[in-house]
Amino acid sequence: MKKLAFFDTKPYDKEWFDKYNKDYEITYFESKLTARSVKLAEGFDAVCAFVNDQINEYVIDKLCEYGIGIIAMRCAGYNNIDMKYAKDKIKVVRVPAYSPYAVAEHAMAMLQTLNRHLHKAYNRTRDFNFSIVGLTGTDLHGKTAGVIGTGKIGRVFIDICRGFGINVLAYDPYPIPDSDINYTDLDTLLRESDIISLHCPLTDETYYTLDKRAFRLMTKKPYIINTSRGGLIDSSALLDALNSETIRGAVLDVYEEETELFYEDNSDKIIHDDVLSLLVSRPNVIITSHQAFLTEEALAAISETTLGNLNEYFSKKENGDNEKLTNEV
């Protein structure tokens, strides 16, 4: 059996990969794949990594030195890999679409929680406080949602919005031809939206899509939703927008400096990220720890697709087939 080094393991990873694995001897490491931990991969045939692993030039060189020819990402994103350096050195595969419904539904759930103050109401009634003072929300029906990015997740979120009777504007540098999506330019979307939701990958072009200039264009005090990648938003600019009441509130499942924090229990530690600490303290901000993908259906799809990617790679390698893999980056 081929040997797979599995990094940044959580209990749900092991549960679902063990359920679908038939062909690999998997060693689960709790540590992230970094320059410090890459030595753990020696003696393996492949590695499986996740969103907050740090796969730089050094890590790639070491994996190649160990004879490892593939990095199997169990996620859609790969911005944490130096892809320019990896080119022609090591294969990188991913899970491009595990469950767009999981992420889009989480985005709407977070929006509704903040808008209707469900988190506050829950805490009150646990103390038998049944006052509803301060829990006033707004109707979403008739509002305008600006959706940035119309890939699979963005389109599912658009469908959910339409179910609420929300009008939708969308921006994407690569609009879907002949669709029923109402595309506009980004500045118009920022000016006219009551809700702004990000559903795009993190690239050089999308880095800080919402920066100080973008927040200045927001005239309708929108809710901000980010379930994609933290680097899409300048966190300091977001904090300024909250302080100046330029926006109504924000719900974030990701954060630009999340690597050393998210997926870990830091409840007994002092957090030295002042921006994150201030965001957490705001009454009109809800942050979840990159859990939007976390449904049974998504975990099953991630496991099956990742193992399928590995099967395809080793099958082609044995047959001397150098064609691009189905889910190769």
Catalytic residue numbers, as ranges: 229, 258, 290
* Dihedral (Cα; 53, 54, 60, 64), 10-degree rounding: -30
Beta bridge partners of 181: none
CA distance 57 to 75: 20
CA distance 99 to 106: 11
Q: Which two tokens stand for residue 302?
A: 């991630």
Which residues neighbour 107 within 8 Å (Cβ) at sequence distance 6 or greater? Answer: 157, 197, 199, 225, 227, 251, 253, 292
Beta bridge partners of 252: 226, 287
Query: How buried is residue 116: exposed, middle or buried, by Cβ count under 10 Å (0-12/13-18/19+)?
Result: middle
CA distance 264 to 259: 10
> What are residue 9's phi and psi, to 5 degrees?
-75, 135
Which residues neighbour 272 within 8 Å (Cβ) at sequence distance 6 or greater? Answer: none
CA distance 151 to 155: 6
Angle between the N-to-C axes of helices 11-20 and 296-318, in degrees from 0 to 180, rounded to the nearest 10: 50
Cβ–Cβ < 8 Å for 256, 235: yes
Amino acid making up residue 43: G
Sheet (strand 285-287) strand order: 167-171, 144-148, 195-198, 223-226, 249-252, 285-287
CA distance 40 to 32: 10
> What are residue 113's phi and psi, to 5 degrees?
-60, -45
